[in-house]
A and B are shown apart, each in its own frame.
Chain A
Amino acid sequence: MYTELFSEAHAVLVHQEPVSTSGALSYGYVDLSNYHRAVLVLHVGACKGDVDCELLQNDDPADPTNEKPIDVPGWGADKEINTLTNTTSDICIIELRTEELDVNGGFHYVGVAVNTTQAAIISYVLYGIEPRYEPVPVTLIEEVVP
């Protein structure tokens, strides 16, 4: 909408600061029950090996054993970015409509799983968009300069 601010309609649900990493990044789960849409923006700097990234759904944020892929019916693919290899300066986006989650089974939490085979510099942010209520919280934003 023309008059609203980006930060009023896009909630930063979780973000990973730019970091040089190797292996699997630890992650938790965020609740999407107040958003109709979510989008993950993955920003990859220099990487020598492979970078994989996937959105996973869960029904219990305290129990990672319940997590499972977000399998889109009729599409045959998960919400996954497969193997960026020996690359630099890539921006990747995963769009998620919350009706793609198994909400009937109580799966309304998502996590961001990132794995690298060798050293890579990455950052990501998961936005909740199309919120049920505006303005959205700005808790994870250090500063909004309007």
Chain B
Amino acid sequence: MYTELFSEVHEVLADYQPLLVTAGTMYPVVAWAGGRFHRLVFIAHVGQVVGDLDMRLVQFNPHTYVTKVVPGKVAPRITNDSSRFVLFELRCEEIDVAHGFTDVGLEIVVSNTAMFSAIALGIVPRYAPVWPNHLDVVIV
């Protein structure tokens, strides 16, 4: 809407600060998709990558500790590259909420090293303005 601010309707649910990531599998941002937002966006900001970087979205059941992939939410592999910006769009009806999968996370697999940061945004909120808890400064 024309008059509203970005920070009033886009909530930072989780963030992973810019960091040099070494080889392994990790879940830098995990967000609860259980009710306050109709849409989530996972923004992966990739710097210098040595080797391979694979990214995909996974869903998680916090009661049974079962994890499974979100169908179709896989990014192409990034190999020996830099300055890449990848967006995962997620409609919350795409996750298996009927079976308790209420959390969604970005899974990254690094074969060597990667400079990486990520943010999970909740958008189309049920209630606005959203909480600015994760923000350190908002200049209006």
How many residues does chain B have at the interface if contact means C-beta atoms less than 8 Å apart?
Answer: 47
B87: chain A residues at CB < 8 Å are 6-7, 141, 143-145
* In the bound complex, CA of A19 to CA of B17 (Å): 11
A91 to chain B, nearest CB (A): 5
Specify which of B19, B38, B75, B136 is in contact with A92 (CB 8 Å cutoff). Answer: B136
Report the nearest A residue to B81, measured CB to CB.
Answer: A142
* In the bound complex, CA of A97 to CA of B38 (Å): 26
CB–CB A81/B137 < 8 A: yes
A88, CB-defined interface residue at 8 Å: yes
CB–CB B140/A125 < 8 A: no
Specify which of B47, B75, B135 is in contact with A91 (CB 8 Å cutoff). Answer: B135
CB–CB B139/A89 < 8 A: no
Q: Which residues of chain B in 63-78 are interfacial with respect to chain A, using CB atoms and an 8 Å cutoff?
A: 72-76, 78
Q: Which residues of chain A in 26-76 are interfacial with respect to chain B, using CB atoms and an 8 Å cutoff?
A: 36-37, 39, 41, 43-46
A95: chain B residues at CB < 8 Å are 5-7, 138-140
B127, CB-defined interface residue at 8 Å: no
CB–CB B39/A46 < 8 A: no
CB–CB B139/A91 < 8 A: no
How many residues does chain A have at the interface if contact means C-beta atoms less than 8 Å apart?
Answer: 46
B130, CB-defined interface residue at 8 Å: no
* In the bound complex, CA of A122 to CA of B17 (Å): 8
B78 to chain A, nearest CB (A): 8
B99: chain A residues at CB < 8 Å are none
Q: Can you list 18 A-B pairs, Cβ within 8 angstroms, ordered by A?
A: A7-B87, A15-B83, A17-B82, A18-B116, A19-B115, A20-B20, A39-B7, A43-B17, A44-B18, A79-B139, A92-B138, A94-B139, A121-B18, A123-B18, A129-B6, A141-B86, A143-B75, A145-B75
B interface residues, Cβ below 8 angstroms from A: 2, 5-7, 12, 15, 17-20, 38-39, 41, 43, 45-48, 57, 72-76, 78, 82-89, 115-117, 119, 121, 123-124, 134-140
Known interface pairs A81-B137, A84-B136, A145-B57; 11 further A-B residue pairs with C-beta atoms within 8 A, sorted by A's residue number: A2-B124, A6-B39, A18-B45, A37-B6, A43-B18, A45-B17, A89-B17, A90-B17, A92-B136, A125-B43, A146-B89
